[in-house]
Amino acid sequence: MSDTAPLVKIEGLHKSYGGVVKVLQGLDIEMKAGDRVVVIGPSGGGKSTLLRVLMGLEQIDRGSVGFGGKPYICANGNGKTTIDAKVRRSIGMVFQHYTLFPHLDVIGNLILAPMKVRGEKKAEAEARAMALLTRFGLAQKAKAYPAQLSGGQKQRVAIARALMLDPKLMLFDEVTSALDPELVAEVEQVILQLAQQQMPMVIVTHDMWFAKNIASRVIFCAGGVVVEDGPPEQVLGSPKEERTREFIERVFHIKH
């Protein structure tokens, strides 16, 4: 992968549910390795669907996604989607509702995939897991079960679990939306910490303060297309497009 090649290259991406509900209607996005992209926009505008497509969780109607200069996802035209499972393994995702496995303790959640997918030794995986948990201030929770954790702790564990596979890109889908307000900061701190280490990421969020602080680039998505794309100061501060301005004003009015 050369430095100039984009990390993610989305071309002509169309996605509908059952051909009726058109969610993504022709997306073209290029993302560089150093980008931290925040996707904002109204509900139903396709933000979460975009992340799910990037994670390889969805079939697509048309278009393609390249990753690291290689083809990753491709619509074959006959309704089938090819997803390169090897490429998919270099992407990590954190979901809105934690999705920790309830029957495994924290460390069990962290080491499952490294052991089963990569064949890593248990002791080795556990050592890496403990190092990550320590870094996230969760070392004393290693033996706790998900039900015994707060929402903020669960979400930090979910982030650590995704990091165990050394992803080259992290996807965050409204990871603080289900949290009590006082728990939001601890999760956002962890993501900011990752940002400082130059982890490429795509974030869907409704938290404009967070968006402003973490984004190197903001994409406003509505009606299944990219309406505006630019640095945070522009898109959040002085948007060019009327639709973006309306949305930003509405969001900030609700907030204040």
Partner 1 sequence: MNYSFDFASVFRNFGPLWDGLLVTVELTIAANAIGLTLGFGLALLVMSRFAVIRLPVTLFIEFFRCTPAIIQIVWFFYCVPMLFNVFLGSVTMGILALGLNLAAFNAEAYRASIQAVPREQLDAGVALGLNPFQRILYIVLPTAVRNSMPVLLTNGIGIFQQSALVAIVAVQDLMYQGKTLATQTYRPIETFTIVALFYFAVSFPVSQVVGYLERRREALAS
Question: Does the protein bind partner 1 through residue 199 (CB under 8 A)?
Answer: no
Among 5, 139, 144, 165, binds partner 1 (CB under 8 A): 165
User: Using the 8-state DSSP alphabet, how is residue 139 labeled?
Assistant: G
30 binds partner 1 (CB under 8 A): no
Instruction: Return d(Cα 128, Cα 114) in angstroms, integer.
Output: 10
- In whole angstroms, the minimum distance from the beta carbon of 124 to partner 1 comes to 17
Residue 178 contacts partner 1 per CB under 8 A: no
Residue 145 interacts with partner 1 (CB under 8 A): yes or no = yes
Instruction: Please identify which residue in 36, 128, 161, 217 interacts with partner 1, judged by CB under 8 A.
Output: 161
In the bound state with partner 1, the residue whose beta carbon lies nearer, of 36 and 154, is 154
Q: Give whichever of 85 and 254 is closer to partner 1, judged by the CB atom.
A: 85
Residue (of 242, 185, 215, 169) closest to 39 by Cα position? 215
Find how far residue 225's CA is from the centre of its chain. Answer: 18
Q: By CB under 8 A, which span of 52-60, 61-69, 135-143, 236-244 interacts with partner 1?
A: 52-60
Give alpha helix (H) positions in the chain.
Answer: 47-54, 85-88, 106-118, 122-135, 151-163, 181-196, 208-214, 232, 242-255
Query: Exposed, middle or buried by CB within 10 Å (0-12, 13-18, 19+), for 79?
Result: exposed
Closest separation between CB of residue 201 and partner 1, Å? 14
Cα 196 to the center of its chain, rounded Å: 16
Q: Which amino acid is at 148?
A: Q
- Residue 173 CB, nearest approach to partner 1 (Å): 10
Binding site for partner 1 (CB under 8 A): 52, 55-57, 85, 88-89, 91-93, 95, 97, 99-103, 112-113, 116-117, 145-147, 161-162, 165
